[in-house]
Amino acid sequence: MTNEKLARGADKPALIVGVLLLALAGIVYYDASQQTITSNYGLGPTAMPMVACFGLVLLGLAHLFVAFREGLPKPEHADPVALMWIVAGLIGLIACIATGAGFVIAITILFACTARGFGRRALAVDAVIGFVLGLVIFLVFAKLLTLLLPVGPLERLFL
């Protein structure tokens, strides 16, 4: 560590992100500890939030460590067009769920837009791949796990 780094102190962005991650871990832990639903067969509804909490604590501590060591690397320039495609996919997902279009159509839009954001130019092929993945995921949840994801007209054909 150089004298310049010691004189400058901690890397502020890394320090802020580390503290925010630890705060988020505290919120997740508190929320999970307030669950009143229990399980009779092993893992209950608090298992995954606790795993997420553990991961957030690890990430937060790692950011704090980096903040006082070498700091975060300088971020690369973001491609605004790629970000717009990804945001459009997320907006499409939210709109489909909100309007009752269903899970499969929502995932189709999200997958195709995200693939386009990452540079693929085969939008129709990516839509088909997203559709198949969304349908398989929906069927696994609905038929094997007996958990319903958001249902639209298409999903009703398979129930």
pLDDT digits (tens, 9 = 90+) for 106-129: 999 999 999 999 999 999 999 999
Treating both helix axes as pointing N-terminal to C-terminal, what angle do 12-33 and 47-68 enclose, rounded to 10 degrees? 160
Asked whether residue 58 carries a pLDDT value surpassing 80, the answer given is yes
* Confidence (pTM): 0.65
Residue 42 has what pLDDT?
67
What pLDDT is recorded for position 1? 47
On the question of pLDDT at 24 being above 90, the answer is yes
pLDDT tens-place string over residues 64-74:
998 888 767 77
Euclidean distance between CA atoms 159 and 138, whole angstroms: 10
pLDDT score for 136: 96
Tally of CB atoms within 10 A around 2: 8
Residue 26 has pLDDT above 90, yes or no: yes
